[in-house]
Amino acid sequence: MTLIASTPSRPSTWRSLRRNPAAMFGLIVVLLVILIALFAPLLAPKNPAEQFFEGLTLEGSPLSPNQDFWLGTDLLGRDLLSRLIYGARISLLVGLIANGAALLIGTLLGSLAGYFGGALAKIIMRFTDIMMAFPALLLAIALSAILRPSLWIVAMVIALVNWVQVARVVYAQTLSLAESEFVTAANALGAGNGRIMFRHLFPHLLPTMLVYGTLGISTTVLLEATLSFLGVGVQPPTPSWGGIINESQSYFLTAPWLVFFPGSAILLTAVSFNLLGDGLREALDPKLRR
Amino acid sequence: MFLRYIVSRLLQTALVILGVVTISFFITNLVPADPARLIAGRLATAETVENIRSQLGLDRPLVEQYWRYLQRLFQGDLGRSYQQRTEVKTLLLSRLPATLQLSLGAIVFELLIGIPLGILAALEFGKFWDKAIMVLAFIGVSAPQFALGLILLYLFAYLWNMFPLGGYGSIHHLILPALTLGISGAGWYARMMRSSLLDVMNADYVRTGVAKGLGRSKVIFKHALRNAVLPVIAMIGLDIGLLMGGVVVVESVFAWPGIGQLAWQAIQIVDIPIIMGTVLLTAGFIVLGNLLADLLYPLADPRLRYG
């Protein structure tokens, strides 16, 4: 409870967010996607795995959007809308797990380096230098291709390449916080390092974590979609947005809706998390409001 | 002073590269896949597999393999492909021109789209166009490149027949893949250009110019703009990491015969020397780009001294 109470003035954050139409748009779409993912079985008009006989033309081609299949069907005659609705689950799940892990690793290493400084900071920050030089996407593709991709592997691989940014920001912030008077005061009162870090520093890092947690999900959603598109993401028959495009890639000239709709779903989700994250950043840090 | 800065910066760069080599070597070699078995094929006898393994030195302890890889690397030897037995260096060099061409094309689009939009947003600060452009920038950054590439192909190559459906060769082939790569970077540059110009517009000399009666637009276009654009352009180096990531995907969509395609093909058959080679080459580019940005930035903004 103290954690939340010490986050600077929440009502004003919400007010500033509400005045920002782009951020509100992001928030609404994000909530919608979450609801769609949660209630997928209720919302999907058809079974996403069922191959409908009437879902293909007589020549065996997928159907374009029509009355029966609102967004058309895929190469196997499955309902695209239902597959997209279920695909939201994978996107969000991987997004949350991967980004949660990245946030955890990044915050832990960044705050340790910032608080203790010295050799520990040198080692950790040099390590982030190396990670920054890594071609992240290439590394993620190679890892998940070689490691027999599953939802967890994909999430962990993404976390592995995404924690660096968080670590750098948290490091810089902890560095200045560690110098501040309330830390000196806590220290003088005899508080141990662990207590200072968790009770006094952590609450100040929460806004940053919230912002990067939100922005990071957008990166994660894109990365997961890219891995699935290359066929090294979450494996079929589980429907994922990138995977749907991968399956229909060779047919996209005759069935462009199979690329357009899942592509739009990815774009809309990624944009919304970005807009919301940016809005949060402005709301939480008035200095940035420009 | 300057020389010392460069030397220490180069040393740091070398260390980072060594780190990349080490991490990627152990990651690619610790994975469960067995390259010897992959090369030999499914029908090979255990004896053949064993032979291949000892031929490639894969039966040695990993640390010894690592040491040998480093020694060869210092002599400029990246090893041979498991599958094709070609030298990795030869393969990389043959693919490099295509990737460089694609990256340059992408940078041109990034600047061509991003800089004017950023300027417009800064001039219209707080008004409709500013907000619209910033949302547009987010859309660009958030667009999945593979889907964007396919949709551009569908529209411009298939429906309207303006560009070829993929492949490599002329400037005609370059436009769509470069645009696909460039759009996400353009969003980034628009944001940077906007905040850079806003910074400059708040500077004292601009206010003085306006106060002297020079006219706002004249001050901005004759004085402020130049100072605002240079730092943004110096940032191209930092952008190379982003570009190099996108290259894998875009080259696969457009059948572009570059480093990214080579990497992707190697990944599918666990051809470790090629994977290592492409990772090292791209890491080299990223580090070089960062170095370039660090060196160029003070040139663009003389107030920054090397320290």
CA A111 – CA B258 distance, rounded (Å): 40
Rounded Cα–Cα distance for residues B231 and A68 (Å): 55
Query: Which of B146, B245, B287 shows the shortest C-beta gap to A138?
Result: B245
Are A271 and B267 an interchain contact pair (Cβ–Cβ within 8 Å)?
Answer: no
A267–B244 CB contact, under 8 Å: no
**Is residue B14 packed enough to be buried (19+ CB in 10 Å), middle (13-18) or exposed (0-12)?**
exposed
Q: From CA A49, how far away is CA A197, in angstroms rounded?
A: 49
Whether chain B has a CB inside 8 Å of the CB on A141: the answer is yes
Three-state SS letters, A6-65: CCCCHHHHHHHHHCCHHHHHHHHHHHHHHHHHHCHHHHCCCCCCCCCHHHECCCCCECCC
Q: Residues 6 or more apart from A1 whose CB is under 8 A from it?
A: none
Chain B residue with CA closest to A219: the answer is: B142
Q: What is the mean pLDDT of chain A?
A: 86
Tens-place pLDDT, residues B8-59: 888 888 888 999 999 888 888 777 667 777 777 777 788 888 888 888 778 7
What's the confidence (pLDDT) of residue A289?
A: 46
Report the complex ipTM.
0.86
Q: Tens digit of pLDDT for each residue in B133-148?
A: 999 999 999 999 999 9
DSSP one-letter string for A90-119: HHHHHHHHHHHHHHHHHHHHHHHHHHH-HH
Between CA A161 and CA A155 the distance in angstroms is 10
Q: 3-class DSSP state for residue A207?
A: helix
Task: Judge whether B80 and B92 are in contact, CB under 8 Å.
Answer: no
Would you call A256 an interface residue with chain B, using a CB distance cutoff of 8 Å? yes
Bridge partners, A79 (sequence order): A73
A249 touches chain B (CB under 8 A): yes
C-alpha angle A104-A37-A84 in degrees, rounded to nearest 5? 115
B112 burial type by CB count under 10 A (0-12 exposed, 13-18 middle, 19+ buried): middle
- Name residues whose C-beta falls within 8 Å of residue A248's C-beta, 6 or more positions apart in sequence: A62, A74, A75, A255, A258, A259
Question: Looking at the partner chain, which of B135, B142, B267 has a beta carbon nearest the beta carbon of A145?
Answer: B267
Residues of A in contact with B153 (CB under 8 A): 252
Q: In this predicted structure, what is the pLDDT of residue A61?
A: 85
pLDDT at B138: 92
Q: Residue B301 pLDDT > 70, yes or no? A: no
Predicted pLDDT of residue A2 = 42
Partners of B80 in beta bridges: B87
Compute the distance between CA of residue B123 and CA of residue B68 in angstroms, rounded to an integer. Answer: 58
Q: Let me know: does A129 contact A164? Beta carbons within 8 Å.
A: no
Q: For residue B267, give the nearest of A141, A256, A260 by CB distance.
A: A141
Tell me the count of A-B CB pairs closer than 8 A. 145
Residues 6+ apart with CB under 8 A from A26: A271, A272, A273, A274, A275, A276, A277, A279
Interface of A with B in 258-287 (CB under 8 A): 259-260, 262-263, 266-267, 270-271, 274-275, 278
According to DSSP, residue A256 is labeled T
At B303 the pLDDT is: 64
Nearest to A22 among B19, B135, B270 (CB): B135
Phi (first) and psi of residue B66, to 5 degrees:
-60, -45
Are the Cβ atoms of B28 and A146 closer than 8 angstroms?
A: yes
| One-letter identity of residue B268 | Q
**A225–B144 CB contact, under 8 Å:** yes
pTM: 0.88
Tell the burial category of A2 from Cβ atoms under 10 Å away from its Cβ (0-12, 13-18, 19+).
exposed
**Which chain A residue lies closest to B141 (C-alpha atoms)?**
A271
Q: Of the candidates B32, B144, B198, which has its C-beta nearest A226's C-beta?
A: B144
Per-residue pLDDT of chain A (290 residues; tens, 9 = 90+): 344 444 555 567 788 888 888 899 999 999 999 999 999 999 999 899 888 888 888 888 888 898 888 898 888 889 999 999 999 999 999 999 999 999 999 999 999 998 888 899 999 988 898 888 888 788 888 888 777 778 888 898 889 888 998 999 899 888 888 888 888 888 888 888 888 888 888 888 888 888 988 999 999 999 999 999 988 888 888 889 999 999 888 888 888 999 999 999 999 999 999 999 999 988 887 555 44
Cβ separation A129–B144 shorter than 8 A: no
Interface test with B, best of A64, A141, A267 (most B CBs within 10 A): A141
Side chain identity, residue B293: A
Residue of B nearest to A220 (CA): B142
Residues sharing a CB contact under 8 Å with residue B3, sequence separation 6 or more, in sequence order? none
Identify which of A15-19, A203-207, B121-125, B229-233 has the greatest average pLDDT: B121-125
User: Smallest Cα–Cα separation from A37: which of A115, A110, A95?
Assistant: A95
